[in-house]
Structure 1
Amino acid sequence: MRFQIILVAVFCCGFVDLRKIRGISSSYKRFYKERKSFLCIDGSKMILFERVNDDYCDCEDGSDEPGTSACPRGRFYCTNLGFRPHYIPSSRVNDGICDCCDASDEYNSHVHCQNTCWNLGQRERAYVEGQMRTLDEGLRLKQQLIEEGVLLWREKQAQLRDLQQVAEDLQIKLEEHRRKKHEADQLKEQTLKAMQGGHSGLRRHNDTVSSVFKLLDCNKDGSITVDEVQAKVTLVHDAERVLSEDEAVALLAGGHQMDLTKFRHTLWEILTRGDSVKIKDTHGAPGSLLAEDPHLMAADRDAEWETTNLKKVEEAYQTVNMEISDLQKKLAIDYGTDWEFLFLSSQCYKLKVYEYTYTLCPFNHVTQRNTAGTEVSLGKWGMWAGTPENQYSQMVYENGEPCWQGGSRSTTVTLTCGTETSLLSVKEPSKCQYITDFQTPVACQPVLKQRGVHSEL
């Protein structure tokens, strides 16, 4: 009889220990040591220890029923040896569905669950090992890209210095050509004044006026008529059109004919300006002294030569300054702590999703093109927007084309570690707001490798 009592006592104690330890992680076992009372983990209530796992919820936090489904807020811990341990809601315990891969949640169920933890763990271990291999290869490629980035950065810095030196040289040339043009213009003006001043200059001027008058006086009757103006004078910017009678009358100071004296003070001055009308089959102001005086012709050629040279130098100077400005803007971008992202600045990556082709040009823009060839801007380079731990994990492209409902399109690019650089996916979770996955070796972080494979795998 005494032996039977002892046996029952041992059996009961063993049953109690087994019942009470079920559904508890190793880190929480200290709360469930055998004693007379049990304190709810949230400290809200003290109960008899025998009421733990008795299939009745006493604690508000469900901590007294870790191995049953009695508490609505309870949690059951799946140990899952060989795989990843995790918690499930206690309502799933003994519900006829296998939630824990080690079948521990169906200990008192009619369902017979297979322990699949080893197979799951094996697959996960293979996946993690593949990720580690990818990380190793990615880090190796990243190091190469860092070295290339440093060299490229130095090349661009040297290119900037060269352009700045060219700009300085062009500025010196520009000042020199401006001085020469000013001198040539002054010489031309002085020559012209010298020719028009004095008795001989005035005589040459009067001879020129008379020659032009005779050229227009086709019938040599000593006067110029409307018909003669229409026959000999044309518009500077429309030489093919014949002047109307009203236009000819206007040139004749409102009359239908004029003599040499009136011509000298009216039509001659209009013709010499050369900005509205000219004599047919000539290229400049008719009767221009340039065609007759070699000194003035030489001065004019020098002025035109210096004007041409000045224009060329000005254009070259503007072009170089534009190149400097563009290069400075590119060098001002944050390409990573070791310039590892610099190689992306000259690349574009495409991905076709249904009827759309998406193009990502890092540090530039993102576009969407449909099958009809219409291209829409989904944003221009804005900034890095990653986490404080890794700010280079996300890019933001802003101020794309306006959306029909208001606002502008924008794209968030998430960078992930990979052995290749490519655009993996594009989605539009909300109207005109796009997210993309972009893999590249330079997104690989050494810190990832420290996590390793879970110790319980």
Structure 2
Amino acid sequence: MLRQLLLLSVLSIPLAHANVGDAHGVVLEAQHLFSEPDSVQISTCVDGSKEIPFKTVNSGRCDCSAGTDEPGTGAYLDTTQECCNRPEGCSEVCSAKCIRSEETRGKNQDAEQNIRKKGFEMRSKYIASARSLEDTLKRAVVRSQNAAAGKEQQASHLKHIITIMESTEKMLDLVLGIRGQSAEVSLDPIAKPAPSEDTALVRAREAFKKAQRDAITLKDFAGMYERMLDEQSNTTMYGRDGEWLEVRFSRLTKDIGDYTYQVTLFGKAARISNNGGEILSLGKFASWNPDTDVTEGSSKYYQKQMYTNGTQCWNGVHRSVQLKFECGLENAILSVEEPEECRYVFMCTSPAVCFQSEEDETDKGL
């Protein structure tokens, strides 16, 4: 009703020459105020700021500052904020529209803030998990290195024992050989080592080889843990705080019509037919946001992933996917688009991009 009252005083048009029924969005009693006159082709904005051609009324574009020349189109609705900020124009209807608009906007903002808050808490847990993993890897490196050093020391000790045992055996063989060659010399009988003594030497040799193998294996483990630690500390790969480590290799899927679209984060993207199961590669993880105006390591940098070199398309290009992330409580695909032939865009959500404030999500620095 307030809007209808407003429409009674919107445009200054002579009443005597009105053709009723031309203007949309206006009640019958007020049609004469918006109908094109026979002789007047110019109308004046309600605030008197300027004159406009009558044909621009309900044109879908706001020519008057408060949008009062668009009573019957959606363009008028787009002027709500401006109208609320300009109380000198259409104040009555604007006050009602502002109340409804502010209520809706307030609810939406509350919902967004709630998602952001919970998402930020989940992101914080991701970061805590990454730091815990970092501590675990550091301890694993130290343990493996210490264990490898212990095995090397054991192998060295066994080698020394084996050397002594082998020297003793050679000495006995030498003495027995001399005895056999000197029949004239009377010597006390010297017995050869018992079989158990030979077995002891064999066991010592086997233990030495095992200690060597164990030392090599433990060194390999230490090297693997060090590489994992180095990879985790690479902020350009798993986020500036390691938040993406928690969801690394998570599989996101979206069933749309005849196809299921899926991506394994930091792995592969694919399109799977729901009629036969044919799998079409859409690419492998290649990089984070490649846009030249985005700083590496910034919040915006981690809101887009690129998957490239998928199955070749009919036009010669290889299929590829852009993953665009926004704050959400799940790691999920919201929608799939194909703005260009064989070039896909997955709109996704993840707590990993739920920063403490909206400003943090749009920053371009570290």
Shorter-chain TM-score: which interval?
Answer: 0.5 to 0.7
Which residue of structure 2 lines up, in the alignment, with residue 403 of structure 1? Answer: 312
Equivalent position SS for 2:223 = helix
- The answer as to whether partners of 1:150 and 1:338 remain within 8 angstroms in 2 is yes
Q: Offset at 1:413?
A: 0.9
CA distance in 2, matches of 1:398, 1:25: 54
- Tell whether 2:199 aligns with 1:297: yes
Q: Offset at 1:171?
A: 3.1
- Tell whether 2:328 aligns with 1:418: yes
CA 1:75 to 1:318, structure 2 compared with 1: closer, same or farther past 3 Å?
same
- The answer as to whether partners of 1:424 and 1:437 remain within 8 angstroms in 2 is yes
- The answer as to whether partners of 1:347 and 1:362 remain within 8 angstroms in 2 is yes
CA distance in 2, matches of 1:143, 1:369: 33
- Tell whether 2:284 aligns with 1:379: yes
Equivalent position SS for 1:344 = coil
- The answer as to whether partners of 2:60 and 2:74 remain within 8 angstroms in 1 is no
Which residue of structure 2 lines up, in the alignment, with residue 309 of structure 1? Answer: 211
Question: What do the CA deviations read for 1:3-59 (whole angstroms, capped 9, x no partner)?
Answer: xxxxxxxx9xxx9x993644x999xx4xx5xxxxxxxxxxxxxxxxxxxx7xxxxxx
Q: Offset at 1:134?
A: 2.4
Q: Provide the TM-score with structure 1 as the length reference.
A: 0.49
Which residue of structure 2 lines up, in the alignment, with residue 168 of structure 1? Answer: 145
RMSD: 4.9
Equivalent position SS for 2:147 = helix
CA 1:117 to 1:410, structure 2 compared with 1: closer, same or farther past 3 Å?
farther
- Tell whether 2:342 aligns with 1:319: no
- Tell whether 2:300 aligns with 1:391: yes
Equivalent position SS for 1:345 = coil
Which residue of structure 1 lines up, in the alignment, with residue 347 of structure 2? Answer: 437
CA distance in 2, matches of 1:199, 1:336: 74
CA distance in 1, matches of 2:169, 2:178: 9
Equivalent position SS for 1:77 = coil
Q: Offset at 1:417?
A: 3.2
CA distance in 1, matches of 2:47, 2:319: 48
In our comparison, the structure showing a higher alpha carbon Rg is 1
Equivalent position SS for 1:328 = helix
CA 1:390 to 1:326, structure 2 compared with 1: closer, same or farther past 3 Å?
closer
- Identity over aligned pairs, percent: 14
- Tell whether 2:260 aligns with 1:357: yes
CA distance in 2, matches of 1:297, 1:160: 41
CA distance in 2, matches of 1:425, 1:291: 81
CA 1:168 to 1:102, structure 2 compared with 1: closer, same or farther past 3 Å?
closer
- The answer as to whether partners of 2:62 and 2:76 remain within 8 angstroms in 1 is no
Which residue of structure 2 lines up, in the alignment, with residue 77 of structure 1? Answer: 62
CA distance in 2, matches of 1:398, 1:306: 50
- The answer as to whether partners of 2:116 and 2:328 remain within 8 angstroms in 1 is no
Q: Offset at 1:333?
A: 3.6
CA distance in 1, matches of 2:306, 2:202: 56
Report the residue type matching 1:159 in the other structure: T
- Tell whether 2:116 aligns with 1:139: yes
Report the residue type matching 2:234 in the other structure: A
Which residue of structure 2 lines up, in the alignment, with residue 67 of structure 1? Answer: 53
- The answer as to whether partners of 1:150 and 1:339 remain within 8 angstroms in 2 is yes
Q: Offset at 1:166?
A: 1.0
Q: Provide the TM-score with structure 2 as the length reference.
A: 0.59
- The answer as to whether partners of 1:145 and 1:343 remain within 8 angstroms in 2 is no
Question: What do the CA deviations read for 1:222-254 (whole angstroms, capped 9, x no partner)?
Answer: xxxxxxxxxxxxxxxxxxxxxxxxxxxxxxxxx
Equivalent position SS for 1:372 = coil
Report the residue type matching 2:324 in the other structure: T
CA distance in 2, matches of 1:77, 1:147: 46
CA distance in 1, matches of 2:217, 2:145: 14
Question: What do the CA deviations read for 1:154-184 (whole angstroms, capped 9, x no partner)?
Answer: 3122112201211320231242144235435
Which residue of structure 1 lines up, in the alignment, with residue 269 of structure 2? Answer: 366
- Tell whether 2:42 aligns with 1:19: yes
Q: Pairwise mapping of residues 40-439 of structure 1 onto structure 2 (< 5 A)?
A: 66-67=52-53, 77-79=62-64, 85=67, 99=73, 128-183=105-160, 186-187=163-164, 189-190=166-167, 193-194=170-171, 197=174, 199-200=176-177, 293-334=195-236, 335-336=238-239, 341-345=244-248, 347-370=250-273, 371-372=276-277, 374=279, 376=281, 378-380=283-285, 382-385=287-290, 388=294, 390-392=299-301, 394-403=303-312, 409-439=319-349
CA 1:355 to 1:374, structure 2 compared with 1: closer, same or farther past 3 Å?
same
CA distance in 2, matches of 1:138, 1:331: 28
CA distance in 2, matches of 1:143, 1:326: 26
CA 1:79 to 1:361, structure 2 compared with 1: closer, same or farther past 3 Å?
farther
CA 1:320 to 1:431, structure 2 compared with 1: closer, same or farther past 3 Å?
farther
Q: Offset at 1:78?
A: 4.5
User: Unpaired segments of 5 or more residues in structure 1?
Assistant: 1-10, 33-52, 54-65, 89-97, 104-115, 204-289, 450-457
- The answer as to whether partners of 1:392 and 1:443 remain within 8 angstroms in 2 is no
- The answer as to whether partners of 2:119 and 2:327 remain within 8 angstroms in 1 is no
Report the residue type matching 2:212 in the other structure: L
Equivalent position SS for 2:42 = helix
Task: Identify the range of structure 1 (398-407 vs 137-146) with the bigger mean alpha-carbon deviation.
Answer: 398-407
